[in-house]
Structure 1
Amino acid sequence: MPPAPRSFLKHWFAVEAIPLYAILGIALTGATWFSIRQARSPSVIWTKSNPEPWNTVKPDESTKIINVNHKLDKSYSDSESPIRLDMVMQLDSPQPSFLLPNSSNIQDTPEETPIDGLPLSRIDPYGLPALIFGGASLSQQYNNDSHLESLIPLRTVRTALRYGINAFDTSAYYGPSEIVLGTVLKGLESEFPRSAYQLMTKCGRYGLDRDGFDYSPKTIRRSIERSLARLNTDYLDVVYLHDVEFVAEEVMPRRSGDHTGALGAEAELYGLREGQEAKVWGDGDQRVLEAYQELQKLQAEGVIRHIGITGYPLPTLLRLALLILHTPPFKPVDVLLSYSQSNLQNPAFAAFTPAFRDRARVAQLVSASPLNMGLLTPKPPAWHPAPEPLRTAVANAAKVCKEKNWPGGLVNVALGYAMRKDAPFAGEGHGAAEANPGEIPVVVGLSTPAEVHEAVRSWRAVQQEDASSIAKRRVMEDEVINIFKDAGFYGWAWPSPSKE
Structure 2
Amino acid sequence: MASTPTEHPSTTSPFPTQQRPIPYSFVNGRRTPLSSILPPLIFGTATFNHQYNSDPFALDTTGLVTSALTHGIRAFDTSPYYGPSEQLLGEALATPFVRETFPRASYFILTKVGRISAEEFDYSPQWVRQSVACSLERLHTSYLDLVYCHDIEFVSPAEVVEAVMELRRMRDEEGTIRYIGISGYPIDVLGHVAELVLKETGEPLDAVQSYANFTLQNQTLAGPQGIQRLKNAGVDVVPNASPLGMGLLRRQGVPVGALGDFHPASRELRSAVREASNFCDRHGEKLEVIAIRFALETWISAGSIVGSKGDPASGVPWKQESNDDVGGAKLGVSVIGVSKPPELEKTMLVWRSILDGLEGGEETAVQAGRWYRAWEWSRNRRKAVQILAEGVQEILGDWFGYAWPSPSPGFVNQRKKHTKTMNDGEAPWLTPAASPEPKPLEGGEVVEERNLPLR
TM-score (norm 2): 0.72
- SS of the residue corresponding to residue 215 of structure 1 reads coil
**Separation of aligned partners in 2, 1:98 and 1:377:** 37
Cα pair 1:353 1:425 within 8 Å, conserved: no
Q: CA RMSD in A?
A: 2.3
Cα pair 2:215 2:243 within 8 Å, conserved: yes
**Separation of aligned partners in 2, 1:130 and 1:423:** 8
**Separation of aligned partners in 1, 2:213 and 2:278:** 22
Q: Deviations over 1:382-407 (max 9, x none)?
A: 3211111111111111101110112x
Q: CA deviation at 1:179?
A: 1.0
Cα pair 2:218 2:401 within 8 Å, conserved: yes
Q: CA deviation at 1:176?
A: 1.0
Check if 1:365 corresponds to 2:212.
no
- 2:101 is aligned, of 178, 181, 191, to 191
- 2:170 matched to which residue of 1? 298
- 1:479 matched to which residue of 2? 391
- 1:143 matched to which residue of 2? 53
Cα pair 2:109 2:146 within 8 Å, conserved: yes
- 2:147 matched to which residue of 1? 239
Cα pair 1:308 1:334 within 8 Å, conserved: yes
Q: CA deviation at 1:129?
A: 2.2
Q: Deviations over 1:270-320 (max 9, x none)?
A: xxxxxxxxxxxxxx2221111111011011021100000000000100000
- 1:213 is aligned, of 121, 139, 146, to 121
Cα pair 1:216 1:287 within 8 Å, conserved: yes
| Residues 1:126 and 1:223: Cα distance change in structure 2 (over 3 Å) | farther
- 1:162 matched to which residue of 2? 70
Q: Which runs of 5+ in 1 are unaligned?
A: 1-94, 114-122, 248-283
Q: CA deviation at 1:439?
A: 2.1
Matched pairs, number = 346
Check if 1:354 corresponds to 2:264.
no
**Separation of aligned partners in 2, 1:470 and 1:229:** 43
- Report matched runs for 1:331-410 at 5 Å: 331-351=203-223, 352-357=226-231, 359-381=232-254, 382-406=261-285, 409-410=286-287
Q: CA deviation at 1:126?
A: 4.5
Tell which deviates more after alignment, 439-448 or 227-236. 439-448
- 1:450 matched to which residue of 2? 342
Q: Deviations over 1:401-438 (max 9, x none)?
A: 110112xx111111111122576633389989516664
| Residues 1:396 and 1:149: Cα distance change in structure 2 (over 3 Å) | closer
**Separation of aligned partners in 2, 1:426 and 1:133:** 18
Cα pair 1:183 1:231 within 8 Å, conserved: yes
Higher relative contact order (CA 8 A, sep 6+): 2
- 2:38 matched to which residue of 1? 128
- 2:188 matched to which residue of 1? 315
- 1:414 is aligned, of 291, 303, 307, to 291
**Separation of aligned partners in 1, 2:252 and 2:12:** 32
Cα pair 1:333 1:362 within 8 Å, conserved: yes
- SS of the residue corresponding to residue 364 of structure 1 reads coil
| Residues 1:304 and 1:423: Cα distance change in structure 2 (over 3 Å) | closer
- Report matched runs for 1:4-153 at 5 Å: 95-101=1-7, 105-107=9-11, 125-145=35-55, 147-149=56-58, 152-153=60-61
Q: CA deviation at 1:463?
A: 3.6
**Separation of aligned partners in 1, 2:233 and 2:10:** 47
| Residues 1:180 and 1:238: Cα distance change in structure 2 (over 3 Å) | same
